[in-house]
Amino acid sequence: MFRVSSVLRRVSAANPKSLHLQIFPPLHGRIEPRDITVDSAARWFVSGSSSSPSLSIWRRKKEMSKEGLFAAKELKRLRLDSLRLDRFIRFNVSRLLKSDLVAVLAEFQRQDQVFLCMKLYDVVRKEIWYRPDMFFYRDMLMVLARNRKVDEARRVWGDLKREEVLFDQHTFGDIIRAFLDSGLPVEAMQIYEEMRASPDPPLSLPFRVILKGLISYPELREKVKEDFLELFPGMFVYDPPEDLSEEDQ
C-alpha cells in the first residue's frame, strides 16, 4: 500500500506543473487494490478533484479585490447611461480577473440588480475561460424568478438548452419553487415538464418541494401529485387542511 501524498510528490517531482495542467478522464467502475498504480492514483486525484461540483467557480466563496469593488461601484453609477455603461464594460469590466468578474456578478444577484446581472451575464459568456455550468445558470434563473423577469428567464433558458446544460433533480425543484413563490405558475410548469423529460432519475424530495409551492394552485398541484404517486407508489403526500376543506365542500 502507498499514500496518496507520496504519489503526488512523485508526480510533481517529475513535472511540477503536472497537477495543474494535465487533464485526465475520470475513473469508472469499482477499483480493486491490485489495479492501483502510481499513474492511476495520480489520475484519480487530479480528475476527481477538478470535476467535483463543490469546486465550481460559481460555488466558491466570492471576494472582490479593489478593482472589483471599483467596477461594481461604477457599473451601478452608470447603469442609467447606456453609452457610458457599454464603454465602461468594454474597456474596464472585460479586463477584470475571473474571480472579480464572478464576484461582481454574484453581488449584483444578491442585490437583485437584474439589469446589471444581464449585462455581466453577456460578458461572462464571452470570456475565454467560460464553460457551461449548472450553478451559473441556476443562480441567474433564481434571481430572474425572484424579480419576475419572464423574458430574461426565457432567454437564459434558451442559452442553457443550446449549451446542453443539465440540471440535477434538486436544482430543478429549487428553480421551479422560486417561480411558484413569485407567482409565475405557467413558467414554473414549463420547467417542470423539462424536469420530467430529464434523463436524471427522479427523486422524491424535489417533488415535495414543488407540491408545497403549488398549494395556491390546486389544479396544477393535482397533476404533479399524480406524477409523484405514479413514480413513488409507496409514498404518502400530505394535503394541507385548506385543500381538505375544499374537497369536503
Average pLDDT over residues 163-186: 96
Single-letter amino acid, residue 190: Q
DSSP-derived 3-state class of residue 216: coil
CA distances from 60 to 52, 55, 180, 228, 230 (A): 12, 7, 28, 34, 38
- The position carrying cell 445558470 is 137
pLDDT of residue 34: 43
In terms of Cβ atoms closer than 10 Å to its own Cβ (0-12, 13-18, 19+), residue 22 is middle
What pTM did the predictor assign? 0.73
Query: Residue 236 has what pLDDT?
Result: 84
Better pLDDT: 236 or 58: 236
Assign 69 a pLDDT band (cuts: 50, 70, 90): very high
Distance of CA 8 to the CA centre of its chain: 31
- What is the grid cell recorded at 73? 461601484
- Averaged over 19-28, what is the pLDDT? 37
CB 120 within 8 A of CB 156: no
Cα–Cα distance, 189 to 171 (Å, whole number):
15
- Name the CA dihedral angle for 10, 13, 19, 22, rounded to a multiple of 10 degrees: -100
DSSP readout, 119-146? HHHHHHHHSTT----HHHHHHHHHHHHH
Q: Is the pLDDT of residue 129 over 50?
A: yes
Checking if the pLDDT of 31 tops 50, the result is no
Task: Report which of residues 243 and 157 the model is more confident about.
Answer: 157
Q: Assign 140 a pLDDT band (cuts: 50, 70, 90).
A: very high
Average pLDDT in the 66-85 region?
94
Check the CA dihedral 67-69-74-76 and report its sign. Answer: positive
pLDDT, one tens digit per residue, over 89-109 is: 999 998 899 999 999 999 999
Residues 34-44: what's their mean pLDDT? 42
Higher-scoring residue by pLDDT: 235, 143: 143
Give the residue from 123, 196, 191 showing the smallest Cα distance to 154. Answer: 191
Provide, rounded to the nearest whole percent, the portion of the chain with pLDDT above 70: 73
The residue with greater pLDDT, 246 or 122, is 122
What is the rounded CA–CA span in Å between residue 92 and residue 158?
28
> Average pLDDT in the 171-179 region?
97
- At residue 240 the predicted structure's pLDDT band, cuts being 50, 70 and 90, is confident
CA 144 – CA 111 distance, rounded (Å): 12
Task: Domain ranges for the chain, please list them.
Answer: 4-51, 166-249
Question: Which of 1.10.1370.30, 1.10.3720.10, 1.25.40.10, 3.90.245.10 would CATH assign to domain 166-249?
Answer: 1.25.40.10
